[in-house]
Structure 1
Amino acid sequence: MSARTARIGLLSTGAVLVGEALWLVAELPAAALVSDVGALLVAGWAALACLGAARRHPTTLRRFWLLLAATMALAALGRAVWTVDRLLGGDLPHTPLVGAIFIAGILTGTGALLCSLAAPRTAVGRARTVLDGVIVGLALVPIGWVVVVRDVAAADLADPVRTLGLLFPMLDLMQLTILVAVARPAWRPMTVIGASLTLRAVADTGYVSLAVRGDYFSGHPIDLCWPLSYLLVGLATRYPPPPECDHGDEAESPLPPWWRVALPYLPVGGAIVAVVLARQPTGQTPHLVFFGMMALLAALALRQGLAANENLRLVVRLRRLAYADQLTGLPNRLMFNRKLRAALRDRRPVAVLLLDLDGFKQVNDRFGHATGDSLLTGVADRMRTAVDGDGTIARLGGDEFAVLVDGDGPVSPERLAERLLAALEPVDDDGDLGLHPSASIGIAEYGPQHASHTDLLRDADIAMYAAKAAGKSAYRTCTPALRESAVTRAELIADLRRAVDEGQLHLEFQPIVDLATGAVRSAEALVRWRHPRLGLLSPARFLPLAEETGLIVPIDRWVIHEACRAAATWRDRRTEATVAVNIAAAHLRRPDLIATVTAATASAGLAPRALTLELTESALIDGSEAVLDRLRQLRELGIRISIDDFGTGYSALSYLHRIPATELKIDRSFVARLDTDARAYATVEMVTRLAGAFELSVVAEGVETERQHAAVAAIGCVHGQGYRYGRPAGLAQLHTALTRP
């Protein structure tokens, strides 16, 4: 129905109620007929309003409104049958047909409540909710007997209308309890319908109280309560559906408050007291109270049985959640460890395959976590197909998977690893974005050297890292040599953590000269490690470990401070000479880089323009806007920015426009081939011209021979660095080089 028609219907219904109220209060003739006709009209209007709401609202609410429409239609039908029977034969025509229509309305109304948004979705949950209502309703029987019927004469109680009328408010209270259990506070219609049920419960209780005492008559003012309750149902249809109703099934239901959980049990105590008070002088309990209590006990027993069943189902679900990976459905780390420990306890020959995806972090960073999750589920499906029952697959977390293989099985661990690698190779129908996962696999077979499952997993991890070092998309089996290498590596990492604090690091400086004059114009600070046991270690030995473990940041910080202090000592010998420091990509991404650099120059008393930060090409390309903004701030402070190893990364002219660089360092691999490779000569010449176009200075790295020196000078490089001009040495040797003409 249209909004205009709905407003007209509401106003007409309101006018009918107002007229009925005035008629009944004034006790005008034919009050009973006016009461019946008014209730019939309001119930009919409410049924039409619910049908209109069913058409307007989403499918998730359609059944709710349709069942409410049926409830209102049955109320109108019951009132019509009541009116006809009363006009034909009696004052209170409690016929079986009227009772059946009333019960049918209770059933459809209860069904509507069980179809609301927050109602349970399982049959067990619905049964539990209905039982909650039944328990509360049955508890009302002995309470109602004591409050309403106790003082009524025994002869009057022989009339079934007077005693069975107690069932009316009992059923009302049952429905009201169900509504409280399934109501969603944020959705206003349920509140209005709750008010309607409350009003109907008050009306039925008042009706029973008056009827058992013989004080009720058709057209009594209490008759206004029923059409008012129908009016409230009609008013509930005017509220819009909640915005999340289209996916309400997916939303996580909040925990109910404690009183809602305790609601079905609260009236039971009152019912027990009422049974004691209801006992007759002969010591007997009235039949209705007795059978009501028996039914209450049966309902309580059934409710507890359902609760126990639900608890068991919950335990099963929790176990499944505890031992399964929610994304892929595979067993998780906890379940894998349990199976592995059980196998080791039984002394069964087993092997572990540890699989780690190559480059998965870049997928997440570039395409987002949704794409990463899709990739992981695809990998899990491929692994299931590849293993095909020859092992137990698990997802240990992130992009790490494991396979537990029975050593006595038909397939060797190495053969299974080959099948897994083959399954991860790209195929023609791979998904979007061209993402082809590859993996590195480590294999560890159980042996006497493994005291526990953690030792076996550690060996698989060692082998997996060896596979990554071998070029990825490969597998390796853990050997004693690999295990010893891993132990040495772990010890070296532990020693490296102490190296900065214990003063084991020191700097050497390699001069950067003016090719025209040979004068030292700058020096690159290079870190060295005097290991207390292993002696002097080159950067290639420990810097990769520092980058893997995050120790590169404190090492970088130390180098910057020490290099600035060293540069301050030679500024009086050659004021224009600067110092260059390499910065790792991890440090470049840190927001405190600017504070580190400014603190180092300030504490050393060094002008910012005397410091050059050397950054690798790949680190700059992977940099975000925040990194570029950080570099611009450093340039504004006067710090110089040099692009190191230029030409070896994914060079692009576009990023030269964006990066505030002041210098390019031509990689030594091009300089080394100047004597023999015309293409290398052309590359150096092109980079030099490119730098000139961008107003960048050029440093040729790795100049070792006189012919290389002559070539880079002829090309037009201004500065050079390499053994031809001096090897990395201590600060004293650099001071000597600075003082030479």
Structure 2
Amino acid sequence: MSRKDIEQAIGRSAGQVRAGRAGVLAAGTVVAVEAVWLALDLPEQALVSDLGAITVAAWAALACVGAARRHPQPLRRFWLLLAATMLLSLAGRALWTSQRLVGDELPHTLPIGLIFTASLATGTAALLCSVAAPRTPLGRARTLLDGVIVGLALIPIGWLLLFRNVALADLHEPLRYAGLLYPLFDLMQLTILVAVIGPGRPVWRPLTLLGVSLTVRAVADAMYVSLVAAGTYQVGTLIDVLWPLSYLLIGAAAQLAPPRHVHRDDEAGESPLPPRWRVALPYLPVGGAIVAALLAQQPSGHSPLPVFVALLALLAALALRQSLAANENLRLVGRLRQLAYVDQLTGLPNRLAFIRRLRTVLGGPQPVAVLLLDLDGFKQVNDRFGHSTGDTLLTGLSRRMRRAVADDGMIARIGGDEFAVLVTGRTAAPERLAERLLAALHPSAGEEVVGVHPSASIGIAEYGPQHVTYTDLLRDADIAMYAAKAAGKSAYRRCTPALRESAVSRAELIADLRRAVDEQQLLLEFQPIVDLATGTVRSAEALVRWQHPRLGTLSPARFLPLAEETGLILPIDRWVIREACRAAATWQDRIPAATVAVNIAAAHLRRPDLIATVTEATAGAGLAPRALTLELTESALIEGSDAVLDRLSQLRELGIRIAIDDFGTGYSSLSYLHRIPATELKIDRSFVARLSEDTRAYATVEMVTRLAGAYGLGVVAEGVETDRQHDAVAAIGCVQGQGYRYGRPAALAELRTVLARSGPPDVNGVAESDLTLT
């Protein structure tokens, strides 16, 4: 939409608001003039009263038609029904006026009664089409019955108050007294209005004005009934102002209502939990009706016929209301059962239904097996295409898996992208069923085009003596499923005793690892890094070990992957940095140039508190920042964001050294070498081990060394174990080396002995080393 269109739309809206206010002001002026005319007892009061009501009713009808044109389709019916109500009121009042002018003082005729009754019907229909009304036929019927019950309950009360002392024989004009039911219809409509706005939604402003209009009309009709019953009503009194005032409020609601967009919440229907007063609303007047019926009994002990008929109708309405409530409760129970046991996205049984069925069949005569299925790479689908596409794919895959299982088992969705199949009896071997499921998940042509390759890892577990409860069976299926993922995905595995034992051991190891830091079970060993030219120890890499109370000393390869998987790597890293800095501070007095290197996990690199951790560790140990080197793998650096690079730059500004560990085994991209503020490269041991027999490995190490020199980086050759490897890396030009040839990882005391033997380097040596490494 262009700026001109927007300005035109704003202008039209402002014009409509001004026109609406002008119309309300004009209609209000008519009502005010009528009120003054009647109050001053000026001539032709009855005619002025009738003309005022007709004029305001006509204006209100036009206002409602205009509101219908402004509002969207869901609200158009509401305003059109209100317009019809006003037109019927106009027609009824015009007919009333014409018959009164020809001589009938109170023309209660059948046509007039039918017209006003039709206006009540259209007004009630409008209420049931409002934005807050129930959207289901059952809900609308129940709300209508609520109003009918209140109206019927007030008939005995009205009879007791108005006609207790009037004999039925005196009611010789039934049509005249049929109009006395209008207040009851008003109260019925008010009850419906209160019911539709009661479930806790924000009240729409037109409904508020409509409620005031119904209240005014109910007061007018009630006063009219009381005066007619007493025989004192006269046309052209101030009471007559109340009817055009009620029309004015309806027209004002139509003129001042802004265009409303019906949101999903408006279309949702009823509130599932209405307030208590809303439930009790139709039953509150029933007690009063029964008491009034007893008091209205004639001396003969019989109730007046209108009261008796009203009570019968009230009982029938109550019975119908209760039947609707019972039916609604049954539907609600069915809906709750569906919500409790059916997955709403796929239509499959959910986890609760699956476990319920599994617990039922366990221990029976038939064999039981569970297949646990987890979709491979489904998170990437959500990340790449969005959750809407992911849900569509999930729905399609669930249909394919349902067809693959057929009648051989019960398939359920028990998690986001996790499914389970329960197999009982000998209908199908679990392995055959797993093969059918994998075949069903083979990508279709359309999925291949968009790059979606659905597959699954399936774990199979059969119920046996080793299972005490259903949770043991599900645990074994989960163990087998993760074994299938480890085997390359898109595969299935059966749970075996060896897999179960390995999983249990793994879980126990993770539980023990959580206590390792707090209980001081970790220790550090240091492997020297030497100057290849002089053999002097220039640095040491801190390597963490776990002194397990039951399993003995465990190498990092045994527990660090578990630590990274569970997030325990963060407290371990913090402990290693702190202890390594403390250790390095103990040798600074003898070998000031010797540094300490610490490995940092990728998870820690992404944390903003890394800088605080490092600075607190160096400051707490009294160690100069230049004496600490952080070793990071290529994969961790490549996956790092701009924030990670900024963090590394801040560390370099503090003096911390950055080493790229295992260089050559990851991406080895030149594009990130100039972005990462590294100080040295550590050539992976796999290249050094092949130097003597593989010319390509030799060329690779030589190329990396030259590349490092071009970027001003130091080079450390890892895994140097033999003299031939030492000679090769020295000949290539590597500055430093690390490996068993120079020393195995050892405790701090042993490293300090090695440092003492090395002695402090001469000034030239230090200067040369510093120039090489920075």
Alignment TM-score, normalising by the size of structure 2: 0.89
Instruction: Give the deviation of 1:446 after TM superposition.
Output: 2.0
Q: Do structure 1's residue 517 and structure 2's residue 534 form an aligned pair? A: yes
Residue 544 (1) aligns with residue 544 (2)? no
Q: Which residue of 1 aligns with 2:355?
A: 337
Taking a change above 3 Å as real, the CA distance of residues 655 and 421 of structure 1, as seen in their structure-2 partners, is farther
Give runs of aligned pairs for residues 218-229 of structure 1, distance below 5 A: 218-229=235-246
Describe the shift of the 1:65–1:167 C-alpha distance in structure 2 as closer, same or farther (beyond 3 A). Answer: same
Matched, 1:306 2:334: no
Residue in structure 1 matched with residue 502 of structure 2 by the alignment: 485
> What is the Cα deviation at residue 657 of structure 1?
5.2
- Supply the distance in 1 between the matched residues of 2:107 and 2:688 (Cα, whole angstroms): 111
Aligned partner of 1:700 in structure 2 is 717
Contact 2:139–2:270, Cα closer than 8 Å, also in 1: no
What residue identity is the alignment partner of 2:275? P
Change (3 A) 1:587 1:38: same
SS in 2 for 1:223: helix
In the alignment, which of 117, 136, 140 is matched to residue 150 of structure 2? 136
Aligned equivalent of 1:415, options 414, 417, 432: 432
Q: Which residue of 1 aligns with 2:62?
A: 48
CA contact (8 A) 2:216 2:242 kept: yes
Q: Which of 169, 181, 200 pairs up with 1:167?
A: 181
Q: Is residue 733 from structure 1 mapped to residue 750 from structure 2 by the alignment?
A: yes
**Structure-2 residue corresponding to 1:13:** 27
Which is worse superposed, 22-31 or 219-228?
22-31
In the alignment, does 2:484 pair up with 1:470? no
Which residue identity is paired with 1:34? V
Deviation at 1:561, TM superposition (A): 2.2
Once the 2 structures are TM-superposed, how far is the Cα of residue 319 of structure 1 from its aligned partner? 1.2
- Spell out, residue by residue over 1:335-385, the C-alpha distance to the aligned partner (whole angstroms, 9 max, x if none): 100111111143321211111233445555666655554554343233224
- 1:49–1:662 CA distance, 2 compared to 1 (3 A): farther
- For the pair 1:532 / 2:549, whether they are aligned, the reply is yes
Change (3 A) 1:444 1:632: same
Q: Which is further off, 538-547 or 154-163?
A: 154-163
User: Over aligned residue pairs, what C-alpha RMSD do you find?
Assistant: 2.8
Q: Which moved more, 1:397-406 or 1:487-496?
A: 487-496
Counterpart for residue 275 of structure 2: 257
What is the Cα deviation at residue 675 of structure 1? 4.1
The match for 1:357 among 362, 375, 393 is 375
- From 342, 350, 356, the equivalent of 1:324 is 342
Deviation at 1:463, TM superposition (A): 0.7
Residues 404 and 704 of structure 1, relative CA distance in 2, 3 Å threshold: same
Map Cα deviations across residues 393-448 of structure 1 (whole Å, 9 max, x no partner): 11212332111123411x32112212222333333201886342332110012223
Larger deviation, residues 560-569 vs 454-463: 560-569
Q: Distance in 2 between matches of 1:682 and 1:378?
A: 52
- What 5-or-longer segments of structure 1 have no aligned partner? none
Per-residue deviation at 1:278?
Answer: 2.3
Displacement of 1:100 after TM fit? 1.7
TM-score w.r.t. the length of structure 1 is 0.92
Alignment pair present for 1:202 and 2:219 = yes
* Separation in structure 2 between the aligned mates of residue 87 and residue 512 of structure 1, nearest angstrom: 119
Task: Please tell me the residue identity of whatever aligns with 1:76.
Answer: L
1:452-471 equivalence runs, <5 A: 452-471=469-488
Of 735, 738, 743, which residue of structure 2 is paired with 1:718?
735
Determine the C-alpha separation between the residues in 1 that align with 2:653 and 2:611: 11
- The offset of 1:125, in angstroms, is 0.9
| Count of residue pairs the alignment pairs up | 740
- 2:309 maps to 291
CA distance in 2, matches of 1:262, 1:627: 63
Q: Call closer, same or farther: CA 1:185–1:479 in 2, change over 3 Å.
A: closer
Amino acid at match of 1:324: V
Q: Is 1:611 aligned to residue 628 of structure 2?
A: yes
CA distance, structure 2, for counterparts of residue 351 and residue 59 of structure 1: 55
Query: In 2 relative to 1, CA 100–162 (structure 1 residues): closer, same or farther, beyond 3 Å?
Result: closer
Secondary structure at 1:263 match in 2: helix
Give the counterpart letter for 1:698 in structure 2: V
Shift of 1:99: 1.8
368-377 or 491-500: bigger deviation: 368-377
Distance 1:716 1:118 in 2: 83
Q: Summarize the alignment of residues 41-120 of structure 1 with structure 2, pairs less than 5 Å apart.
A: 41-88=55-102, 90-120=104-134
Moved more, 293-302 or 473-482: 293-302
Distance 1:387 1:203, change over 3 A: same
- The 3 A distance-change label for structure 1 pair 357 and 584 is farther
CA distance in 1, matches of 2:175, 2:507: 88
Other structure's SS at 1:581 match: strand
Question: How far apart in 1 are the matches of 2:437 and 2:654?
Answer: 53
The alpha carbon displacement at 1:684 in A equals 3.8
For structure 2, the 5+ residue unaligned runs are: 1-11, 760-774
Structure 1 letter corresponding to 2:53:
A
Deviates more, 1:145-154 or 1:568-577: 145-154
* Residue pair 1:162, 1:211 contacting (<8 A) in 2 also: no
Indicate how the Cα distance of structure 1 residues 352 and 251 shifts in structure 2: closer, same or farther if over 3 A, else same: same
Partner of 1:149: 163
After superposition, the Cα gap between the structure-2 partners of 1:169 and 1:548, relative to the gap in structure 1 and judged at 3 Å, is same
Q: CA deviation at 1:201?
A: 0.9
Match of 2:248 among 228, 231, 235: 231
Bigger mean CA deviation after superposition, 358-367 or 574-583: 358-367
Is the Cα contact below 8 Å between 2:190 and 2:214 reproduced in 1?
yes
**What is residue 604 of structure 2 aligned with on the other side?**
587
Q: Deviations over 1:126-185 (max 9, x none)?
A: 111111111111222122223333355665444425643332111111111111111244
Matched residue SS, 1:725: coil
- Report the 3-state secondary structure (helix = DSSP H, G, I; strand = E; otherwise coil) of the residue aligned with 1:526: strand
Decide whether the 8 Å contact of 2:70 with 2:259 is kept in 1: no
Distance 1:108 1:126 in 2: 14
Does the 8 A contact of 1:152 with 1:212 survive in 2?
no
What are the Cα deviations for residues 681-717 of structure 1, in whole angstroms up to 9, with x where unaligned? 4544454455455544333322334444444445444
Closer, same or farther in 2 for the Cα pair 1:530/1:22, shift >3 Å? Answer: closer
Deviation (angstroms), 1:540 = 1.6
C-alpha displacement at 1:474, in angstroms?
1.3
* Local SS of the residue matching 1:248: helix
Kindly indicate whether the alpha-carbon contact (under 8 Å) linking 1:354 and 1:442 is maintained by their aligned counterparts in 2.
yes
